[in-house]
Structure 1
């Protein structure tokens, strides 16, 4: 047999099905006389509620065969005997007797609605859930209750036929997939028809220990390739006959579904003939949106998966417009159309919301609400109920057109939704909501939105919602009134919050004016706007009905959509009545207060005086410290200069006060340089008194020589040394300068690790980005970082980091109030891989660096870090003598030398990410296991900063 594509199997058929006749099966029947070896079989496809007698025959056969197998206990006869709950049934008839059958539901809206999910509870239910979720967008049908009369001489042929009917039913319901559970002994039959067995779902004993049940799925894209030759022939022949029978069925032609677009899948062989017909139909205008969509998809961040790129295109035909348009498939389309929602709605929330089933009653105000919900993507299935026809006077608030006059309002809304999202399923109740159809309307709803004019229907909706525990939302287009009635969480809640006690039957025959009394009780007449109240007085005199404005209706749509989104994502949304009167808000509004950042230098730059002791003290205080927290107490007493650590001035990143010890070492070095140059002989003594652990050092006067030449070289930079965060052009540093800095560190028994190549700098920038991201996302580290920032005219500038020293343009400083907000960081923390942009500030400065250097020491005692601080300060000052500017850009884990250190630093969160960054850090700088970082610093040639940080005077 030659290789035949699935498209070939149907393109070269004799079917005369045209595109406009190919719609999802909704009602009526299709009577098919099969051919060939099955010519003695009639396949009757029908909507159960349209043929209750045949449905009863199906149920009787189901009971009989399930009794024979001993599994009738799984049948819910109360549900089965009510045909209105089922979409489609198929029965095989031989000799006038019903000899086989199955029923099918779909498309499945939620995983929990799939019977297979419950039946596989003892298997790998997580796999089943994931499998169904991944395929939900392309529609899943679920055939159930397959039975064959085992006394029939044609039982094997009937079994094969019913297996194929699982495929036909999915195709008729516009589903790509047909999911089913089956006893293992039936797997061979189903796989011969093209089913994919799913062993990952496991095997369960269902319905009892005599049956080993597994999960399988028919993928209509693949069944014709996977089935055996005999079934391939029959699938092709039967489908042609089904479609021809459908064309000839009066019951099918009488159900035009005038609001439903025709969606044809290029990769679905069951759509091939209809698609060919559509593309050749001269009555249709053919368009393609693929160029625009492909361009947009290519720009999405992060880039879309290969599976989305490979998704087949669809042709969507709108019969009421006579336009067919080529679009992305449903998954890609949803991804692209909802992309601008991120991250006000997260991907996870969006996925959940698209599983919501929402009903809207009343399609004047409800039209705008329904359309807004679909635009925002807060539902995946919507039911619309309204009996009324559009009139010109409705166009003051309904965004329809003159071409829609005399059309049903629900149909108009459904068409508009279809033109926005053809993949969203819509059910239309164009007779309105009645006692006879309210059960069908409410079935499966998660939320109902009531916006009808008829007071008796308002009550009817709430009575039904309370019975089924479904929340009701209502926006009243006056004064921004919004009602939330949580019948799902409060079983004692009375309709309309208890404002009136009336049932639907009492209101049925009242006039509009008589009903207004009840309406005033519901809407609290003393609180509605004056103009609406006055208009209600004039009903039947100077106005026909109460007035509504498009602006009020649109505001209500926003409020309802917000409530649906909150309920759908599990956010607190209790029963309530709220008012948001826009007219009054404009009266009460006040302008914002602009933030002014002064450019004045508010503190004088430090200068040396004539007193050597004061100069030593001043120089010591102008040593660097983490976040300029100045973790010391430095003072003269009895001719001795004391350096004590202030352990209260600390941050989490300063693990075991290692950064504080480093800072005090730098302060000691500064004081020694001043003493040397200004002629005060003496020496530092470190940790001189074990009984005083906070006393780090003291300068004691005495006969001690110093390197005056080196001190005089560094002395002029003691008070001008500063952190320079300016952006700059990247320049290469003379190797001799680098060697000098390395030598300074060597002599101080430290090591300077240098990164200077562009690639290495980019690698370190990645580490810095990851570190900065975690610093923002970690609650305590973020709080400490923000506390370091000082705003001129608001905060003291004697400690912390003056925001002006960040070297950010004034416009960019406007982002700081956002970065300071904990609630913003908490949102980012919830989103997978979010927050990388938080590292852009340091990334840009690393990219323009001449080099990044990491200073390390061999030990990790307090004394080691003090000595490391002395070396650091000496290296920093020496670098500035060569015109270099320096900026510390260290990772958050700089002082975390052990696993326990890291656990304590991070409060036991983000540990794996920190560990990964630590490994990258050690590798890129080639830091050995016996080395411990003191600081990582940017070396660059940057312009002098306009502002600097200052110090406390005491």
Structure 2
């Protein structure tokens, strides 16, 4: 059904009539005692007979005379007498001023300026004394940004906390703004400056408002700050990082104090450049950055290094952090609420008054967090439900527990010399482990190199029955065997040599290889294994012969099988699973604790100090991804996202990595046993070295299969039906992608293979003396 043609034309004409008022925000004053004004008003009323007229002058005069006689309790007759005396022979219609608001088409009769202000501010006394009110009315305040700034400006106007307001914003009102900006739907698409100026004029038509409709620019900042006299206070509520910095640089040059309120947690920034002319802008948070580059920044990724120190990521509210994870997922920008914006306006107006009256001289960042100030009592955390790691084994305990260890000595067994032992232990030190947790300790005793499980270091939710640690042991044992082969040594390995000592994983004894021995093709490549988490710009296919070689080397380990996915659609599905599995892992309190407290190292200094974990810089994160990791570090954020059934942003990094794969590889073993997981680790080592030897990079991504194993072989997910159901769904999709895998096979290792365009920095390792002791050195 189409709009009637006549109705369409009429609507167009009326809209055009309305539009001509869209830039008007100052009312017209008519003082009837002035003949010209009287004539103009008469013409207006004739031209627009539909204008609404509001005449409450008697009510206002009543308030005036009562305010002038505060010691008296006046009767109606006395009030009438005082009003007649005040009129001094004039008719009430001619007293004061008639104010016409063209955008409202309303004519209002009010007291003239001095009496109007006197009556309107009467109830301010003596929270604000008359002397203070007179001083405030000489002050000029500038407000940049009119979202929170609208509430600030209106509150300042209502309280008459200044004599002039300069307001700046280039934007127009959107419907999405109406969740926090007090306005009407008729104002959508109007300039924010016009809307605010109009609202102030409707409250107090005598308050001077100067509008900068184009917002603040390099060209007009000086005028905004200094024209017709310097501002006494600048209030920054803008979103643009370049303008935040520019306005402070200029305000500092003119020694104008700056006040900023962020609606989240009632965050307040005060910078008293009037009292501290040498104070660094933004409390010095961005001193390490080149602010001359800010105006050239285009993308959010480029701006983040500047935004982070200003926003203070760690001090954001939990809901704001969680919401930031959802930006460009379920929301388009950060949220603000009317309640926070409204009390933010009140807080800012209060601080403005105290600064201008010289009652407040501090600088700094402050929080008026209502949720923290008024909150339910905090219940003590239940620590009994959180699994705790076993105490790690010490070198003296290793010595004591192996005092009676009986090992079958191989024929021609030899003792290692110092140089051989050093080579093997350096290889062991470089071993790969989940999260680089390095769950091992080594003891060389009586010609045997003993591998112990340091259970404190391998503690994790996903390490069901120690399977993750056993894969790491297998990797390292194979690496040692290969290094020994390069040194012309044969390794004689006994797994779990003492049933009474389960933490003793393996005993390695050595003999010289025979002259006829043919070295393993990977023997000389143990030093090249490296994890690379970068994403290539161009994804190149891996030649079939390379994949065939990787398969052949991997499956030299008895029972090991390897499967590859190269199809783009299948890679897409598995990448999605990788992303969601990593997110779901964070929804388990233990998994979150392990990643952020045990695995990740957020600074190089932390990585150097601990000698373990994963250096976040090795992930090749964008600035946005780095802030996401910092936000996700807060467990309360993850609790919220799980409750909301959101958090897609947490999947982004792993999904992106998965998509940047030339192939995805899965290694399986026949059974869910300790021996098979150790053998599986050996297969992983062979795959890894073969890939790296061919110039192919490898990135382990095992969260999904580890949880699938818990789902099938353990009960760790039974307490959380949401996680159990989600992993069950992912499990089915995953094995549909790897359709060749027999249901009886056990997944051991999942990774992406690709051609990296940049080398990766190896993760730090524990010092030798933390993982190894030898009777050669005692």
User: What TM-score, normalized to structure 1?
Assistant: 0.41
